[in-house]
Amino acid sequence: MRVSSGHRRLVRSVAGAAVAAVAAVVAAACAPRAGPLLGVPTTRRLPNTALPPGHRRLVFRWEYRERVFSARGEGVARIAPPDSVRLDFFLENGATGGCVALIGDSLTVPAQNEVRRYLPPVPMLWAALGRITIVGPDTTVRVDGDTLRAEIGRDPIWRMAFGSDSPVRVERIAGGRIEESVERTDSTRVVYRQPGAGRSLVLTVLRRFAETRFDAAIWRC
């Protein structure tokens, strides 16, 4: 019996969909479950996380990992309040890894730029820089010792923990599982994780410089 090309395409399409569905189930299973929001209810407001005044330039080490790929090197962040950042990534061998310009909620990444693979979504990227841009219904705030905790939204839920008026951890929770997180243990180290996909990006700040201004051309990455 001859099998038509249309039938073969249908079989491949069904098989591909099945593989994708299995991969999604496996990824969901790998994502850890989120426990309840800790602490006691409070009427305290969330801290103001606006970028501090003054232009800054940060030099950092970065390391990206996923299940079948990894890369590392150095990078430069040029930060201009209230809402603009340019990030340049350089690979360990001295080659250019790529650049991005983040202005408000808009992320500009040139075509064929490998750095897109490394980056978290915009809300998580801002959280890595200490700025919370997430808004939504059903905000819950609790105090847990020295930590202020909050949840925003329904599904997904954005969960935040603040210490000394700055975010130390931000999580995106969907279906009761932590799909991705940003952890800022101190002012020099940031870790982004997407556990279901086996992805992580670690940024370690090496040096900080105050700048008077940046040339407008840097925002055209």
What pLDDT score does 82 carry?
95
**Torsion, Cα of 161, 193, 201, 68 (10° steps):** 180
Please, what is the Cα angle at 57 between 56 and 61, to 5 degrees? 140
Q: How many CA atoms lie within 13 A of 166 on its CB side?
A: 18
Per-residue pLDDT of the chain (221 residues; tens, 9 = 90+): 454 545 444 334 433 333 333 334 444 458 999 999 999 999 999 999 999 999 999 999 999 999 999 999 999 999 999 999 999 999 987 766 789 999 999 999 988 788 888 999 999 999 999 999 998 888 999 999 999 999 999 889 999 999 987 899 999 999 999 999 999 988 899 999 999 999 999 999 999 999 999 999 999 88
- Hey, where are the domains in the chain? 40-219
Cα 91 from Cα 95, distance rounded (Å): 5
What pLDDT score does 77 carry?
97
Q: Taking the model in full, what pTM does it have?
A: 0.84
CATH, domain 40-219, list 1.10.20, 2.50.20, 1.10.15, 1.20.140: 2.50.20
What pLDDT score does 29 carry?
52
First vs last Cα of the chain: how many Å apart? 57
Residue with token string 């800022």? 184
What are the C-alpha distances in Å from 33 to residues 75, 136, 221? 33, 22, 38
Is residue 90 within 8 Å of residue 108, measured between CB atoms? Answer: no
